[in-house]
Amino acid sequence: MTDDKDVLRDVWFGRIPTCFTLYQDEITEREAEPYYLLLPRISYLTLVTDKVKKHFQKVMRQEEVSEIWFEYEGTPLKWHYPIGLLFDLHASNTALPWSITVHFKNFPEKDLLHCHSKDVIEAHFMACIKEADALKHKSQVINEMQKKDHKQLWMGLQNDKFEQFWAINRKLMEYPPEDNGFRYIPFRIYQATTERPFIQKLFRPIASGGQLHTLGDLLKDVCPSAVTPEGDLRFFMHCTRCNVFPQNLSLRQRTSEESQKGRRN
């Protein structure tokens, strides 16, 4: 993984063209023009939308401005999910640019967590890092790092700096053969067709017989119906940060048209 730098770089710089529009019931002093951005798949909405907020606040009455939040076709978008995961779960079949609606009022308390600052995002990000390293290395790698290493990891993500991020993240991806590699593979499977947020369980990289497990083995163990002809499910794999749950998978049912196309191909 750490040697495939060109692949890692291509994944890092994946972008989604997006059109932000203000919700029609928001009170404005003049017409609000749409705002366009190329969103990095590996980042979080609340990290990269400062320009969106400033653009629309210019036409808003200040007394009407509250906490900003986003939705797509009636579904509030969770800020603590990576942008690429949000797109694949909710909008992968839509034409680009991705159309996101911006709100400044009526925050959906039951659907979204509050995010009052980037410190909240950083805390969430580092919690995921620590959880993944606990599964892989018994937390030895993350605990041996200095505080400045943690900060560099975070700042690399926040500022979209590939080299800055991977100078630290590569340490978390080392696979020591003398220790039989990772203890467990950190992964999450997100399902758009269920109320359960995600599936997560302990899964070793090596089978009891000594052979390496594949992604198919993982899916067969966690979602057995997904690897049968009758399962007819689609997966999107997010190897974005490659340490925080490297198999971030979203799972949803295909439409009949998609299924037929998949069989023909």
Q: What is the pLDDT of residues 22-51, one digit of tens each?
A: 998 887 778 889 999 999 999 999 999 999
Query: Is the model's pLDDT at 195 over the cut of 90?
Result: no
The per-residue pLDDT of the chain, averaged, comes to: 82
Query: Is the model's pLDDT at 224 over the cut of 50?
Result: yes
- Position 115, amino acid: C
For residues 93-101, average pLDDT: 94
For residues 173-183, average pLDDT: 73
* Domain assignment present for 72: yes
* Domain assignment present for 233: no
For residues 127-138, average pLDDT: 92
* Domain assignment present for 143: yes
Task: Check: CB of residue 190 under 8 Å from CB of residue 251.
Answer: yes
Domain end marker among 130, 153, 173: 173
Higher pLDDT, 66 or 122: 122
Domain end marker among 103, 133, 150: 103
**Number of compact structural domains in the chain:** 2
Q: What sign does the dihedral 84-88-89-92 (CA atoms) show?
A: positive
* Domain assignment present for 240: no
pLDDT at 194: 61
Q: List Cβ<8 Å contacts ≥24 apart for 196-204.
A: 199/223, 200/245, 202/135
pLDDT at 189: 85
Predicted model pTM: 0.82
Domain end marker among 77, 103, 129: 103
Q: List Cβ<8 Å contacts ≥24 apart for 191-199.
A: 191/250, 191/251, 191/252, 192/89, 192/90, 192/250, 192/251, 192/252, 193/251, 193/252, 193/253, 199/223
* Domain assignment present for 215: no
Kindly state the helix (H) or strand (E) to which residue 80 belongs, with its residue range: none
pLDDT at 253: 40
With a CB cutoff of 8 Å and minimum separation 6, the contacts of 169 are 153, 156, 241, 242, 243
* Domain assignment present for 246: no
Enclosing domain of residue 150: 118-173
pLDDT band, residue 180 (cuts 50/70/90): low
pLDDT at 200: 86
